[in-house]
Amino acid sequence: MKEIEEPSRKIPVMAETDILVVGGGPAGLCAALAAAREGIDVILVERYGCFGGVITQAIVGTIAWYRYAKTVDAGGIGVELERKAKEMGSTINTIGNVKNPEMVEVLEKEGLMVNGKPTYEVLETEMFKHVADVLIQEAGITPILHCTAVDVIMDGNTIKGIITESKSGRQAILAKRVIDATGDADIAYLAGAPFRKSPKNELMEVTVNFGCSGINIGKFLMYVYLNRSSIGDWGETSGKEEDSFTTYLVEPFNKAREAGEIPKDVTIESYWTNYTDAGEITSFNGIHMTGIDCTDVWDLTKAEMEGRKRVIWAVEALKKYTPGFKKARLRTIGSSLGTRESRKIISEYNITEHDVRNEARFEDSIGICPEFIDGYGIAILPTTGRYFQVPYGIILPQEVENLLVAGRCVAGDKVSHAATRQMACCTVTGQGAGVAAAVSIQDNVTCRQVDISKVQKTLKKQGVRIE
């Protein structure tokens, strides 16, 4: 590879803060809010033009689709995001809002509806951009958008801040504590923290989501009722989920492939999650591509463009082979790939498949996560109240001081990642990181030395269930 030598230069410091959170997705939002509510000065940096991460960039509003009647939730800011969105008119209909009496009976029997009301509502992903702004402003957090972290500032093995690139040029932000909520462990990687990343052909798929308008919702819902899919159709279950209802949709895409309208080597299978009274389904999670390394800019470029091409094939198949879609048209394509897996840090503790499958308990718990595993062909949903505790150790990277990691890149093995990558768990690790960083500053100790009992006490005060 050719190389050039970049001349050294002085970099202006654009800001200094107590806690710097890098990445404004569900984990980063929760980290920043949790820390700010403890009276700590917080800056939240995001590379795109809005906060929300996978919610607003990849149009995934199903932050709580795991929830059934008997699900035990973690509480805290993750649930608050839903509540705030609803207060601001930023939630939309789910499958639970159907009026078909037969389907209502099915959904109530399965615990997806209680007394005629759905157990969860989908976030309106466009409006959530504003919801996130309001939450940040109310908490007194300093937001910085359109700003990318490109390097770190180190003093030995202690992180002191980051180098950024933006329209304002190359600048530095100094901080006493840094929380890496980038999803890809970018900051931990740059700081020299150990990590693992599976070979490209073993990484979970990436997704380009899309929405449609002009749908006859009544006809489509009748089709769904008459062609009911279950969780067992698409993954290994624990048994209790085998016959549970799902919005899994594959028939129209298979018909298009058989007709030669979709290439034989392309598989499209979609999950849809909501609809509006205006005849829209705002998110189809349908374009899945394997063999993509989301830390490689060439792979990212290829996947974005290939994904959009497949979206067009999918919309044409829906129009031709799905009742209610005759006059449908493309409404939205996600503005960024939905990424499930890339780097994962190696931490003080690495959570395991056994932990997430067997209701693990930890003395350093920073929250709980419903028994929700979705990935690698496994589909286990928290229909019976089972949950595991999330340990502080998985957000504490080895070899780097005063850095915490939150979100899908926390430490763990392959199958545990199918649980910890979920937005519900990302909000838990985010809030835990924000509180731990705040307590460490209050007590003038490193993140590794923080008193976990104080962290737990503060998390409980913030409404988190940790036991």
The pLDDT value given to residue 112: 75
268 shares its domain with 176: no
In a domain, 95, yes or no: no
Note the pLDDT tens digit of each residue in 142-185: 999 999 999 999 999 999 999 999 999 999 999 999 999 999 99
Q: How far is CA 341 from CA 33, 202, 316, 408, in A?
A: 25, 10, 29, 7
The pLDDT value given to residue 92: 85
**Residue 115 pLDDT level (bands cut at 50, 70, 90):** confident
**Residue 291 pLDDT level (bands cut at 50, 70, 90):** very high
Query: Of 299, 333, 367, at which residue does a domain stop?
Result: 333
Query: Of 333, 357, 375, at which residue does a domain stop?
Result: 333
30 shares its domain with 149: yes
Domain count, the chain: 2
In a domain, 20, yes or no: yes
- 115 HSE (CA, 13 A, CB side): 0
Share of the chain above pLDDT 90, in %: 84
The pLDDT value given to residue 276: 87
The pLDDT value given to residue 110: 73
pLDDT: which is higher, 189 or 239: 189
Cβ neighbours around 327 below 10 Å, total? 11
306 shares its domain with 236: yes
Note the pLDDT tens digit of each residue in 38-95: 999 999 999 999 999 999 999 999 999 889 889 999 999 999 999 999 999 999 866 5
- What is the number of helices (H) and of strands (E) in the chain? 13, 25
193 shares its domain with 205: no
Note the pLDDT tens digit of each residue in 336-376: 999 999 999 999 999 999 999 999 999 999 999 999 999 99
Phi, psi (5° rounding) for residue 332? Answer: -150, 145
Query: Are 287 and 210 a contacting pair, CB within 8 Å?
Result: yes
Query: Of 280, 299, 333, at which residue does a domain stop?
Result: 333
The pLDDT value given to residue 124: 94
pLDDT: which is higher, 6 or 287: 287
Note the pLDDT tens digit of each residue in 353-364: 999 999 999 999
In a domain, 113, yes or no: no
359 shares its domain with 319: no
179 shares its domain with 217: no
Residue 456 is given by DSSP the state: H
205 shares its domain with 223: yes
CA distance 111 to 337: 32
Residue whose token pair is 């897996």: 341
When pLDDT is averaged across residues 386-412 and rounded to a whole number, the result is 98
In a domain, 104, yes or no: no
Write the CATH number for 63: 3.50.50.60
In a domain, 245, yes or no: yes
Query: Can you tell me whether residue 156 is helix, strand or coil?
Result: coil
193 shares its domain with 148: yes
Q: What is the mean pLDDT of the chain?
A: 94
Cβ neighbours around 101 below 10 Å, total? 8
190 shares its domain with 64: yes
Q: How far is CA 108 from CA 100, 123, 217, 239, 320, in A?
A: 12, 21, 21, 19, 32
Is this structure's pTM higher than 0.85?
yes
Q: How far is CA 225 from CA 113, 144, 222, 365, 381, in A?
A: 16, 46, 5, 42, 21
Among residues 385, 357, 369, the alpha carbon closest in space to that of 111 is found at 385
172 shares its domain with 209: no
The pLDDT value given to residue 239: 83
The pLDDT value given to residue 229: 85
The pLDDT value given to residue 98: 56
- Can you give the residue range of the structural domain that contains 58? 13-89+124-197+343-461
CA distance 467 to 461: 14
In a domain, 103, yes or no: no
180 shares its domain with 240: no
CA distance 359 to 388: 4
In a domain, 254, yes or no: yes
In a domain, 375, yes or no: yes
249 shares its domain with 348: no
- Find the range with the poorest average confidence among 47-51, 371-375, 417-421, 447-451: 371-375
CA distance 145 to 44: 8
